[in-house]
Chain A
């Protein structure tokens, strides 16, 4: 079996893209807080009633909150969790931790990145600067390693984190699966390198010649991408630069309590109004 993903039949409807995720899978989700998260994909995970997921992300917010609200999460490995904007803490996530309904592996954003780097670099662990004096390493039973060359102070080493899937919301993709992101790519690049497979939801399908004209702006080359879907406004209610900003009223409506509110929110996803 090839190490790469080839072929021109990678484009699938969102429903089929999400159907590739088995219960219990480990997913790292791109973006940060309310910005360019794969939120259409996340809502479809809930519609398909996925269970026992492990979510890996430095700064989750809406995504982990709605997945906790739907009971889809077993474990979270994260650096900082909040709704952001003016919305403060993520309420359903917070309740899930306080009621011990999910397992939390608390990181610094940089230590989670170190774990992903270890996987991406093909090594079992990765040193991470800082962390000394923090109570976090002991929580996770991380080890402090002496500098084997004797030049510097000991460093904390973070075990490799290798998610099953990196799920990224991108600006543009071609039919082969080359991926571009406008604005910052946050941690998406290292997520794609650390994971066994990459699934993309993109705003637009463009010609391969667009990529050939500026290959340096390709964040993920096609052979790392297993499959993709096109969903316009798929990062709603978050932003996707420069196409659209955060829909704050929609986030506010999402935060109202009740199953009906969640159902209304899921029904309002832009993915529901687009041909499969």
Chain B
């Protein structure tokens, strides 16, 4: 019997795999899974990277992992406070290597809607809004996002509203990892318990899959790091992510 790779673990680990040594990497508000990915990468990978976050932390050593990804505990043991204007300006001047940003709807070019379902003037659902994306997505060197639901509702041919242009470099869902290729999202890999056919079936836009394979399973270090971050499974239960 093979170990089931949970959607929660799949998303956190595959977000972490986008983090590269020596780069400035940012996690923001409403971003529990990227926060865990950054903390996991610090534990599981050898290459050092610069982790900054929305609480003003710079390579912090938080005494516990907070429920809110903007909790001030994420600046604990930080030797400086790099506050909101600072990290936005850093991104605006082209020095943000990797940022994680939320997105409600994503199109085939990796653009994001975070504003509204329905028309902007008469919304069916009012979403959080412009946030970091509209400025960070087009100015960061790379931006990655995640969706806990992989469906044609979230992966659409046409966005209801284009909050942010620029295109994600990477997108992770419970069943797939997409990465940008020539300005479009291409399938990089699928969950070992999913398939190319399932990803196509559940995605509203067309995508290239020529280089796609089954995702490499978690390494022992990745697995141990996630266990250490979420020893009693609180985060996994709160996230409540299912493959299908």
Chain A positions within 8 Å of B, measured between CB atoms, are 32-36, 58-59, 78-82, 84-86, 89, 93-94, 97-98, 100, 104, 106-111, 113, 128-136, 139, 183-187, 189-190, 239, 241-242, 245-246, 248
Contact = CB atoms under 8 A, between A and B. Distances in A.
Given A84-B29, A136-B163, A131 B84 contact: no
A109 B81 contact: no
B128 interface: yes
Contact of A106 (B75, B130, B135, B165): B130
A108 B130 contact: yes
B72 A136 contact: no
A134 B165 contact: yes
A-B CB proximity, top 10 nearest: A133-B165, A184-B56, A80-B131, A130-B135, A241-B72, A129-B92, A108-B134, A108-B130, A110-B135, A97-B126
A98 B123 CA distance: 6
A79 B55 CA distance: 17
Contacts of A80: 29-30, 114, 128-132
B165 A34 contact: no
A245 B73 CA distance: 9
A92 to B, nearest CB: 11
Contacts, number: 168
Nearest to B124: A98
B68 A111 contact: no
Given A132-B138, A133-B166, A84 B30 contact: yes
Contacts of A134: 130, 134, 138, 162-165
Given A79-B131, A111-B130, A132-B165, A98 B125 contact: yes
Given A106-B129, A130-B138, A246-B71, A139 B123 contact: no
A58 B129 CA distance: 10
B165 A109 contact: no
B45 interface: no
| Contact size range, B | 35 or more
Nearest to B102: A80
Given A32-B70, A97-B123, A242-B72, A184 B130 contact: no
A131 B129 contact: no
Interface string B76-91: 0000010111001001
B127 A89 contact: yes
A84 B70 CA distance: 9
A139 B116 CA distance: 13
Contacts of A94: 125-126
B161 interface: yes
A156 to B, nearest CB: 10
B55 A183 contact: yes
A81 B166 contact: no
Contacts of A133: 111, 138, 162, 164-166
Given A80-B130, A108-B135, A134-B134, 10 more contacts: A35-B70, A80-B128, A80-B129, A81-B129, A110-B88, A131-B134, A132-B165, A133-B166, A241-B73, A246-B67
